[in-house]
Amino acid sequence: MKGLFFLMSAFLLTSCAALPTIQEPTAGQAKKSVACPSPFLTEKTRFIHAIDVQAAGKTKTVMIGVTVADPATRTFSCAIMSTEGMAVFEAVSGKEGVNVTRALPPFDAPDFARNMMDDMELIFLEPAGVVAGKGVFAGGEFVCRRRQERGGWVDVVAGHEGRIQIRRYSECGALERTVNLNGNSRDAYKTIELQSAGLMGYSLMMTLIESEVVRDIPAAQK
């Protein structure tokens, strides 16, 4: 039992890591970037993406994902369907939590919905929480670090060649998710690459099929 405890403790300790160091920008770098990178949505938008699910570098399957994200209310509606059009998962997320309306196996697994909504939030919405650091990484990429209200950290990094990278860390600094976006533009969500860290890590390569701004109809006009 002591051995198991030791192993578990060792695993937990090695899972944690120091957050990447943020340095003060040089005079030249400071002139280039004064604001935090923000590719995130500013209005309610509907996306339809092809989702290439990969593990160990190989494609496992391809699905179609529909997401409606509202940055004003920080709410989501999501659906996943097969390429043949069979809906396998539908859920909405809001202040009251996640409400799953359809989940066929394996999408009915515990925590799947919550984890998926967290991933959607990471991709589409400006991170909630206070800016805890701002500067550059050793490689010269500009970064803003936020302390999440529910614990953990999120770095939004303006990489070279205009690409944006979002990294989510656990409370103890372990990297949990990495998101790569096209850039700080209207095309930011044309291709999205999400990588999940860990032993059961996976990658989602999302390619935009179509998107549109959603204008809610006032209740009186419905």
Partner 1 sequence: MIRHFCAKPICLVLFVLLVLPVWSARADDFARLRKDSARISTITADFVQKKSMKILSKPLVSEGKFYYAAPDSIRWEYSKPLKSVVLSGKGGTKRYVSSGGKMVEDKTGGAKAMQIVLGDVAGWMNGRFDSNPGFTAALREGTDTLITMTPTGKSMAGMIEKIEITIFRKDASVKSVRIVESATAETRIDFLNVVVNKNIDPSVFQVVQ
- Tell the smallest beta-carbon distance from residue 59 to partner 1 (Å): 4
The residue ranges that bind partner 1 (CB under 8 A) are 46, 48, 50, 52-53, 55, 58-64, 66, 68, 77-79, 81-88, 90, 102, 104-107, 202, 209, 212, 214
Closest to partner 1 by CB, 32 or 102:
102
Tokens of 86: 């069979």
Closest to partner 1 by CB, 79 or 179:
79
Tokens of 124: 């589409």
Closest to partner 1 by CB, 66 or 197:
66
Q: Tell me whether strands 153-158 and 130-136 are parallel, antiparallel or unpaired.
A: unpaired
Could you identify the residue written with the tokens 């799953």?
A: 100
What is the number of alpha carbons within 13 Å of residue 168 lying toward its C-beta?
A: 24
Closest to partner 1 by CB, 44 or 74:
44
CA atoms of 222 and 57, how far apart (whole Å): 47
- Tell the smallest beta-carbon distance from residue 199 to partner 1 (Å): 13
- Tell the smallest beta-carbon distance from residue 68 to partner 1 (Å): 6
Q: What is the DSSP letter of 186?
A: T
Closest to partner 1 by CB, 36 or 214:
214
Using an 8 Å Cβ cutoff, are 125 and 146 in contact? no
- Tell the smallest beta-carbon distance from residue 176 to partner 1 (Å): 15
- Tell the smallest beta-carbon distance from residue 214 to partner 1 (Å): 7
- Asked if residue 106 has a cis previous peptide bond (ω within 30° of 0), the answer is yes
Helix-strand-coil percent breakdown of the chain, rounded to 5? 20, 45, 40
Instruction: Write down how long the chain is.
Output: 222
Using an 8 Å Cβ cutoff, are 145 and 155 in contact? yes
- Tell the smallest beta-carbon distance from residue 83 to partner 1 (Å): 4
CA atoms of 167 and 155, how far apart (whole Å): 5
Closest to partner 1 by CB, 90 or 121:
90
How far is CA 1 from its chain centroid?
38
